[in-house]
């Protein structure tokens, strides 16, 4: 039994699933489900299709190089069955998965860093520039102290809504 990788989305194909397509140049394409198979028939390039692992790795959304990937390399030499070895391997798989998930979370956090600060800055800028859309300038000048801090909460919501409506 062997767990293969889907050619299109790079997810694992478990036994009993999927379709194998053998091209005349003897290249074998394995697909995990008909979604990947149909995309392949449409001649789509997985590197351009957003939800595939190929795209994500190419565009730096997911980790590419990590020592945990070394454990999953394809081995062609069959190992003699050894109960201890199998037990240890299973334990190791669990641990390696945990480590990999943690590292991926860290990679994601690093990627998303600075998002909140950026959003705040953009909101403040919108506030300055487009406040005339919310309240008339005359009214603002009458009560300058009350407007900004009071409306700050409301405006950011309304601004965001307006932005969404504008878009």
Partner 1 sequence: MAWTSASKLFFVGRSLLNGLSNHGLGLWRTSHEITCSSLLSQQQRTFIQMRTNLKVVDNSGAKRIMCIQALKGKKGARLGDTIVASVKESQPGGKVKKGDVVYAVVVRAAMPRGRCDGSEVKFDDNAAVLVNKQGEPIGTRVFGPVPHELRKKKHVKILSLAEHIA
- Binding segment (CB under 8 A) for partner 1, from list 26-34, 46-54, 106-114, 145-153: 26-34
Cα–Cα distances in angstroms (integers) from residue 30 to residues 7, 11, 47, 156, in the given order: 6, 10, 16, 49
| CB-CB neighbours of 3 under 10 Å | 9
Q: Which is nearer to partner 1, 6 or 155 (CB)?
A: 6
Q: Which two tokens stand for residue 26?
A: 């003897």
Specify the 3-state DSSP secondary structure of 91. helix
Does residue 21 interact with partner 1 by CB under 8 A?
yes
Specify the 3-state DSSP secondary structure of 55. helix
Supply the minimum distance, in Å, between the C-beta of residue 11 and partner 1.
15
Does residue 24 interact with partner 1 by CB under 8 A?
yes
Does residue 19 interact with partner 1 by CB under 8 A?
yes
Which residues are near partner 1 by CB under 8 A?
1, 13, 15-24, 26, 28, 34, 38, 41-43
């Amino acid at each position: 039994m062997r767990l293969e990788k889907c050619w299109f989305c790079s997810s694992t194909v478990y036994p009993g699933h999927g379709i194998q397509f053998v091209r005349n140049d003897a290249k074998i394409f394995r697909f995990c489900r008909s979604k990947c198979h149909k995309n392949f028939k449409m001649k789509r390039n997985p590197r351009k299709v957003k939800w595939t692992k190929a795209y994500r790795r190419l565009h730096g959304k997911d980790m590419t190089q990590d020592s945990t990937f070394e454990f999953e390399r394809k081995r062609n030499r069959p190992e003699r069955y050894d109960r201890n070895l199998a037990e240890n391997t299973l334990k190791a798989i669990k641990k390696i998965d945990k480590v990999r998930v943690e590292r991926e979370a860290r990679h994601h956090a690093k990627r998303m860093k600075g998002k909140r600060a950026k959003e705040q800055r953009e909101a403040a800028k919108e506030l300055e520039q487009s406040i005339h859309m919310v309240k008339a300038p005359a009214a603002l000048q009458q009560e300058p102290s009350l407007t900004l801090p009071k409306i700050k909460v409301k405006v950011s919501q309304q601004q965001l809504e307006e932005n969404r409506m504008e878009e």
